[in-house]
């Protein structure tokens, strides 16, 4: 049975003067006489693209004034929603939505055991909604709250894959003709469930859905660098090529992979190692000049610090996912530090990051000197019906709305037409195995 359609859970606004202090506005907020108050934090589930999107709407006592955020975590959607509905919503009702820094710290501390992707996504959903709400109150596009524009658009990259270099090169050329200067390239490995390729080892894609074909790391290291190098030779130097390892190699294999791929002239290699192996990045960097992009799997901005500190950072791009890292409030601080350390941003932006999160990320891209390139999801048509104002890539880039807030709205009625799948139906990451039968990182 599918999960319920999009619904809302409005906490009651406390009116009893004897109500617990946790639900009442902070005394100093009352003293300064602010009039706008949070009246409800509602959550909605919908899946117009097939993957679950968890949307947060922060409502106020000013009619029609609300902010929208995204708390999407396709693997733990219902757990994140529970945190929002049962814990954060009651904590926020009655408070001043302008106090974003204060509310972020309040929500973070309320869990006591801080951190983790579930807490991060819940915080991120509320945080982006509060920034959207503030920008709407000021009648300004969201990026203007972050110092304004330092660029008019954000360069984006699209994805292509194929079974051999000739097929992939043709797709890269087609992407270039659509205006993309950056293209992520994934190559299938025969007989292996290879990340980012539609076939997954079988002609009809059955392995991708059921994980019937194992992951073969040795075959990947032997095959993919040669394909990438040939693709580069076929397309020339006019297009930036990217590749995602998706954390599937151990440190020894990672060093071997980079050695073999040196001739491909890649813009970056993404997630060469899993977060658990981050300590090895310094050694990997010492032996290779291939640029590294890291961070899609991080759930706390503090995880980046060991990679950014030291005489020279050991990564070139920070792969930030705004919902999972707790929203714009912490990610903007990380972006400022990346700028100081000469590291650029390459924000995560697949289809399981909703158009709301994409628009919030775009506001950061437009306002940060640290920005490098933005992953651009290609959404199904139904997504634009649920999310009016969805930003789509044109000529290889994304341009923000000039309307107040981040510019993306949410149609509750349209959302109900797209119920989310059962847990584990959308993602089968946990079923992937290596050739020896052991569980493999996704």
- Which candidate in 143, 157, 180, 195 is catalytic? 195
Q: CB within 8 A of 363, min separation 6: which ones?
A: 141, 142, 143, 146, 328, 400, 406
- Which candidate in 246, 280, 348, 418 is catalytic? 246
From 396, 404, 395, 324, select the one nearest 363 (Cα to Cα): 404
Assign 3-class secondary structure to the chain. CCCCCCCCCCCCCCCCCCCCHHHCCCHHHHHCCCCCCEEEEEEEEECCCCCCEEEEEEEECCCCCEEEEECCCCCCHHHHHHHHHHHHHHHHCCCCCCCHHHHHHHHHHHCCCCCCHHHHHHHHHHHHHHHHHHHHHHCCEHHHHHCCCCCCCEEEEEEEEECCHHHHHHHHHHHHHCCCCEEEEEECCCCCCCCCCCCCCCCCCHHHHHCCCCECHHHHHHHHHHHHHHHHHHHCCCCEEEEECCCCCCHHHHHHHHHHHHHHCCCEEECCCCHHHHHHHHHHHHCCCCCEEECCCCCCHHHHHHHHCCCCCCCCEECCCCCCCCCHHHHHHHHHHHHHHCCEECCCCCCCCCHHHHHHHHHHHHHCCCECCEECCCCCHHHHHHCCCCCCCECCEECCCCCCECCCCCCHHHHHCCCCCCCCCCCCHHHCEECCCCECCC
Whether 246 sits among the annotated catalytic residues: the reply is: yes
Q: Which residues are catalytic?
A: 195, 246
């Amino acid at each position: 049975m599918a999960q319920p359609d999009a619904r809302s859970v409005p906490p009651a606004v406390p009116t009893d003067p004897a109500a617990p202090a946790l639900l009442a506005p902070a005394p100093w907020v009352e003293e300064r006489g602010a009039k706008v108050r949070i009246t409800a934090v509602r959550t909605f589930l919908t899946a117009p693209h097939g993957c679950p999107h968890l949307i947060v709407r922060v409502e106020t006592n000013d009619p029609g004034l609300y902010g929208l955020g995204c708390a999407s975590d396709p693997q733990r959607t219902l757990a994140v929603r529970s945190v929002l509905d049962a814990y954060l919503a009651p904590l926020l009702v009655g408070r001043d939505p302008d106090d974003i820094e204060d509310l972020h710290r309040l929500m973070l501390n309320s869990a006591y055991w801080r951190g983790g992707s579930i807490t991060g996504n819940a915080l991120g959903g509320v945080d982006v909604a509060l920034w959207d709400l503030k920008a709407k109150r000021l009648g300004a596009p969201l990026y203007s709250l972050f110092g304004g524009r330092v660029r008019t658009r954000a360069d984006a990259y699209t994805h292509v894959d194929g079974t051999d270099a000739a097929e992939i090169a043709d797709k890269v050329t087609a992407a270039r003709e659509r205006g993309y200067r950056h293209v992520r390239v994934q190559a299938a490995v025969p007989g292996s469930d290879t990340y980012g390729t539609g076939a997954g080892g079988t002609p009809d894609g059955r392995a991708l859905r059921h994980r019937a074909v194992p992951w073969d790391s040795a075959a990947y290291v032997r095959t993919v660098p040669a394909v990438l190098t040939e693709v580069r030779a076929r397309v020339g130097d006019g297009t930036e090529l990217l590749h995602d390892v998706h954390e599937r190699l151990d440190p020894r294999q990672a060093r071997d992979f980079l050695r073999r791929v040196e001739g491909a002239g890649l813009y970056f290699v993404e997630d060469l190692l899993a977060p658990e192996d981050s300590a090895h990045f310094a050694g990997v960097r010492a032996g290779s000049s291939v640029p590294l992009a890291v961070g899609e799997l991080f759930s706390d901005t503090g995880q980046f610090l060991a990679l950014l500190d030291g005489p020279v950072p050991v990564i070139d791009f920070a792969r930030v996912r705004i919902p999972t890292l707790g929203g714009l409030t912490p990610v903007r601080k990380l972006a400022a530090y990346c700028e100081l350390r000469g590291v650029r941003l390459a924000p995560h932006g697949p289809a399981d990051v909703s158009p709301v999160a994409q628009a919030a990320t775009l506001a950061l891209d437009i306002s940060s000197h640290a920005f490098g390139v933005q992953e651009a999801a290609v959404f199904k048509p139904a997504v634009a019906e649920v999310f009016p104002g969805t930003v789509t890539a044109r000529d290889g880039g994304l341009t923000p709305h000039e309307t107040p807030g981040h510019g993306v709205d949410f149609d509750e009625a349209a959302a109900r037409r797209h119920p989310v799948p059962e847990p584990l139906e959308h993602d089968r990451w946990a079923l992937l195995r290596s050739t020896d039968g052991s569980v493999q990182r996704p």
